[in-house]
Structure 1
Amino acid sequence: MTTSDFAAYIAGLPRVLAAAAALFRDAEGSVLLVEPNYREGWGLPGGTVESDDGESPRQGARRETAEEIGLDVELGRLLAVDWVQGPGRPPLVAYLYDGGVLGDGDFDAIRLQEEELLSWRLVPRAELSAYLPGALGRRVLTALDVLEAEGAGAAELENGRRVS
């Protein structure tokens, strides 16, 4: 296979997007959410994995967290991988990592990326579905379940629902 044949082969393969986020909590278990200015609703600190530049999902989650909220912390274990389909775009593979429990000093150090974010807040588990509808909300609730289950591995999800 020539170089041009290989390039044509690669160009013809299906596409998938990748995103990664961090799940930060306070001592009471409330989850840190951010409010973007480019769409309605709330989300987690994170974003697109720059895979064309060689970035891994873990690296992308850490970079996005540092850019969006000013916290550059080593992330914990992978909690969930979600295959999310949506209209008008390729499927998205969303990776969710444990950001850990933050203390008051960490929350005081949060500096929002004003180009993308309006605000942040801590939301108790019981209220998460009101802020994070659909697949993202299901993904976050499943990740919290994984954290509570001793020795549990990462959850495999499709559109926020467990596969197995």
Structure 2
Amino acid sequence: MTIQDYATYIAGLPRVLVGAAALFRDAEGRVLLVEPNYREGWALPGGTVESDEGETPRQGARRETVEEIGLDVELGPLLAVSWVPPGPLRPRPPLVAYLYDGGVLGTEQLKSIRLQEAELLSWRLVAPEDLAEYLPGELGRRVAAALDVLADGTGPAELENGYRVG
């Protein structure tokens, strides 16, 4: 196989997006959510991994956290990884979504949050029992699985569209 043949082969392979986020909590166990301005609903601090730049999912989650909420926090262990198929409402390639433990934020860290106004409208802390109201669907299931991993000490959770597998 020539270099050109190999390049053509690689160019023809399916594309998969890679996303990464951080799960931050406060001392009461509430989860930090952000409200994007470019779509409806709530999310976690995070975004697309810049793999073309050589960025890893962990690095992407940390970079996105700094960009979106102004906190530069060393992330803890991987809590969950989910294969998310394309959705009918948001056409895109499949997504592999990594979720890392952002840890428990203290009062001073919470006070120092500065939103990236180009992308975010607001942030809030939400009790685990209220998360389904803010995070329906796959993301809500992913966060619930991550909270289970934190509670029982096992992990990370392997998910397909937010449902545990394996």
Normalised by the size of structure 2, how large is the TM-score?
A: 0.97
Of 120, 124, 143, 1:121 maps to 124
Corresponding pairs, count: 163
Taking the TM superposition and a 5 Å limit, the aligned residue runs for 1:11-160 are 11-87=11-87, 88-150=91-153, 152-160=154-162
User: What residue ranges of structure 1 are gaps of 5+ in the alignment?
Assistant: none
Distance 1:84 1:138 in 2: 12
The CA deviation string for residues 67-110 of structure 1, in whole angstroms up to 9 with x for no partner, is 00000110000000000012321110000000000000000110
RMSD: 0.6
Aligned residues with identical type, % of pairs: 75
User: What residue ranges of structure 2 are gaps of 5+ in the alignment?
Assistant: none
Which of structure 1's runs of 4+ aligned residues deviate more than 4 A? Answer: none
Normalised by the size of structure 1, how large is the TM-score?
A: 0.98
Residues 84-93 or 36-45, more deviating: 84-93
Residues 1-10 or 41-50, more deviating: 1-10
Distance 1:160 1:55 in 2: 24
